[in-house]
């Protein structure tokens, strides 16, 4: 019977497998985008949507399913997300063209709910004093999984073909679903309410209206009626979404909770981190694969490009796993500040020094240190800042905002890089340089915001409306 175990270690092992699988799937495809583009006969800007479509879908599905999990049970909602993810992998593996592949990635985005649901289960099942360290471990696994996906993509593509980037995760995720059903306990804490589908529709609407012109604005023309119209629609839909959420008795995103100083500052840092992280995942491997005839790049194979990202994976895993144990002496806020500063240095280093493989490897290693430190710490800050009953939606929104940042970052990077082409059709070096200068700007802003995060002294154990109102001001 499901939930027949009381072993937190077994629950943690299952959840770690689940989050690692989805995290790897997020980045597994990025090094293979040039191969997919050639095989499916599409354009560089179109194939980028194989990556962006997943992030967009995750942005909508994460808070929605996080809310459903809080209401109806995290274990059963997690199971539904894994089933949708497995079906999405099956469709992607069989995709006959780029449109079907992008649609399959949208379905896979439902699996993004594994992050908030897993954090909610951790808070339900572990003693409060252990929650920060366990959250740190799982966050490190998420971050490291993304790096591992980039490393594994090359051998899989070269040995089996790019479609196995979906066959293999489908098998792993299917097994994980069985494990969740068997070993993850039913949720002891449920919050009554209903789903505000209007808010979910408006959320997806303003994200699509924003990301489409960011991605294609250069080819459409930044002053074109279509580009300006979509940006205007994004503003109107965003304002409408916020208005609906503020008036709703059952908001998808609790705007009162979002006004807590520790929550909104951490979420803004997460937005900037997502923009930098996913842009690095998507475009550094592409930089390495650019033929030397372009005057830069290394002409690497998919495997070689993945191996050059290995230093980032190693440093990310080490610093991420140390984040929780370091928290008593090196506060989580300080970890976010230093992590943001290291990412700033790494982005500037890549923009200036990228003539040799070792230079890129060193920059990505430094990026991994910063990412590992801050990734786990941001989640811990959110968990410690909100009531237990809102853990799912709060961590879901943090992961969601990071993903929205990733969508914006990859769309902007794609626009910049594809907008700087040489006469022979190859990307120009200036496109990558400008992209990493932009990422350094994001990182600098993240440092300033991280400094503004209030110091959290102890977890918030229960819903305390008067105290919440006092914090909100």
CATH number of 460's domain: 1.20.1250.20
Name which residue leads in pLDDT, 465 or 360: 360
pLDDT of residue 164: 95
- What average pLDDT is seen over the chain? 82
Confidence (pLDDT) at 390: 67
Q: Which of 415, 410, 407, 411 is nearest to 55 (CA)?
A: 407
Lookup: tokens for 200: 């979910």
470 pLDDT higher than 60: no
233, pLDDT greater than 90: yes
Query: Residue 464: what pLDDT?
Result: 35
**Same domain? 347 vs 468:** yes
Rounded to whole angstroms, the maximal C-alpha distance in the chain is 65
**For residue 92, is pLDDT > 70?**
yes
| Residue 20 near residue 138 (C-beta atoms within 8 A) | no
pLDDT of residue 84: 94
Task: List the one residue out of 100, 150, 187 whose CA is nearest residue 389.
Answer: 187
171 plus 216 within the same structural domain: no
The helix/strand/coil state of 427 is strand
Q: Evaluate whether 169 touches 320 at the Cβ level (below 8 Å).
A: no
Query: Which pLDDT value is given to residue 393?
Result: 64
CA distance 347 to 460: 36
Q: Based on the fold, state whether residues 349 and 378 are members of the same structural domain.
A: yes
Q: Are residues 118 and 209 in the same domain?
A: no
Among 162-176, 292-306, 382-396, 423-437, the range scoring the smallest mean pLDDT is: 382-396
Q: Is the pLDDT of residue 126 over 50?
A: yes
Least confident of 12-21, 88-97, 184-193: 184-193
Residue 18, number of CB atoms within 10 A of its CB = 29
Q: What is the pLDDT of residue 412?
A: 84
Burial (CB count <10 Å: 0-12, 13-18, 19+), residue 425: exposed
| 178 CB-near residues (< 8 Å, 6+ apart) | none
Q: Which among 453, 444, 443, 455 has a CA at the least distance from the CA of 331?
A: 455
pLDDT tier, 462 (very low <50, low <70, confident <90, very high otherwise): very low
292 assigned to some structural domain = yes
Q: Which range marks the domain in which residue 45 is found?
A: 8-186+252-472
Q: Do residues 121 and 171 both lie within one domain?
A: yes
Structure letter (DSSP) for residue 354? -
Q: What is the pLDDT of residue 388?
A: 67
The answer to whether the beta carbons of residues 93 and 438 sit under 8 Å apart is: no
- Rounded to whole angstroms, the Cα distance separating 139 from 379 reads 7
What is the predicted pLDDT for the residue at 247?
Answer: 87
Q: 367 and 221 in one domain? A: no
The answer to whether residues 14 and 125 belong to one domain is: yes
Average pLDDT of span 149-158:
86
Does residue 1 sit within a domain? no
Does residue 3 belong to any structural domain of this protein? no
Residues 121, 245 within the same domain: no
Task: Tell whether 243 and 299 lie within a shared domain.
Answer: no
Question: Between the CA of residue 158 and those of 39, 64, 84, 96, what are the distances in Å?
Answer: 13, 37, 28, 20
**Is 221 found in the same domain as 94?**
no
So what's the pLDDT on residue 163? 95
Q: Domain tally for the chain?
A: 2
Give the whole-angstrom CA distance, residue 356 versus residue 337. 29
Q: Which of 111, 127, 119, 2 shows the shortest CA–CA distance to 64?
A: 111
Q: Which of 30-34, 215-219, 367-371 has the lowest mean pLDDT?
A: 215-219
Q: Identify the band that residue 4 occupies on the pLDDT scale cut at 50, 70 and 90.
A: very low
Residues 204, 329 within the same domain: no
Is 50 exceeded by the pLDDT of residue 80?
yes
Q: Is residue 2 part of a domain?
A: no
363 and 277 in a single domain? The answer is yes
pLDDT score recorded for residue 441: 93
Calculate the CA 159 to chain-centre distance.
Answer: 28
What pLDDT is recorded for position 104? 95
pLDDT greater than 60 at residue 3: no
Q: pLDDT-based confidence at 174, cuts 50/70/90? A: very high
Report the alpha-carbon distance of residue 416 to residue 9 in Å, rounded.
Answer: 46
This prediction's pTM:
0.74
Q: Are 139 and 375 in contact (CB under 8 A)?
A: yes
């Amino acid at each position: 019977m499901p939930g027949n175990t009381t072993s937190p270690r077994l629950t943690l092992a299952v959840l770690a497998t689940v989050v690692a699988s989805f995290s790897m799937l997020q980045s597994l495809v990025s090094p293979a985008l040039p191969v997919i583009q050639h095989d499916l006969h599409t354009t560089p800007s179109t194939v980028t949507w194989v990556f962006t479509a997943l992030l967009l879908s995750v942005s909508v599905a994460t808070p929605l399913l996080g809310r459903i999990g809080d209401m109806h049970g995290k274990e059963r909602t997690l199971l539904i997300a894994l089933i949708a993810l497995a079906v999405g992998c099956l469709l992607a593996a069989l995709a006959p063209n780029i449109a079907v592949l992008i649609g399959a990635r949208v379905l896979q985005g439902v699996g993004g709910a594994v992050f908030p649901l897993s954090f909610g289960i951790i808070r339900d099942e572990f003693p409060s004093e252990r929650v920060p360290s366990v959250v740190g471990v799982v966050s490190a696994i998420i971050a490291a999984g993304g790096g591992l996906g980039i490393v594994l993509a090359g051998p899989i593509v070269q040995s089996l073909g790019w479609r196995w980037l979906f066959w293999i995760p489908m098998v792993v995720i299917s097994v994980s679903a069985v494990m969740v059903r068997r070993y993850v306990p039913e949720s002891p804490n449920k919050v009554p309410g209903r789903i505000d589908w209007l808010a979910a529709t408006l959320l997806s609407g303003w994200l699509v209206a924003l990301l489409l012109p960011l991605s294609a604005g250069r080819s459409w023309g930044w002053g074109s009626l279509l580009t300006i119209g979509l940006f205007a629609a994004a503003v109107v839909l965003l304002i409408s979404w916020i208005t609906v959420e503020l008036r709703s008795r059952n908001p998808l995103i609790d705007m009162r909770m979002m006004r807590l100083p520790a929550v909104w500052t951490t979420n803004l840092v997460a937005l900037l981190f997502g923009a930098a992280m996913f842009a690095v995942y998507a475009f550094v491997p592409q930089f390495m694969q650019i033929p030397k005839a372009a005057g830069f790049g290394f002409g690497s194979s998919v495997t070689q490009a993945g191996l050059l990202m290995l230093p980032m994976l190693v440093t990310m895993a080490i610093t991420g796993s140390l984040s929780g144990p370091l928290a008593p002496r090196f506060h989580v806020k300080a970890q976010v500040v230093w992590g943001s500063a290291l990412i700033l240095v790494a982005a500037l280093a890549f923009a200036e020094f990228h003539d040799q493989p070792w230079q890129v490897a060193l920059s990505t290693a430094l990026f991994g240190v910063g990412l590992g430190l801050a990734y786990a710490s941001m989640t811990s800050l959110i968990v410690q800042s909100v009531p237990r009953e809102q853990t799912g939606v709060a961590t879901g929104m943090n992961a969601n905002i990071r993903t929205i940042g990733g969508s914006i970052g990859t769309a902007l990077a794609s626009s910049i890089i594809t907008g700087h082409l040489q006469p022979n059709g190859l990307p120009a070096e200036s496109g990558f340089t400008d992209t990493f200068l932009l990422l350094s700007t994001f990182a600098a802003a993240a440092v300033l915001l991280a400094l503004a995060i209030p110091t959290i002294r102890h977890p918030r154990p229960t819903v305390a409306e008067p105290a919440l109102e006092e914090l909100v001001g």
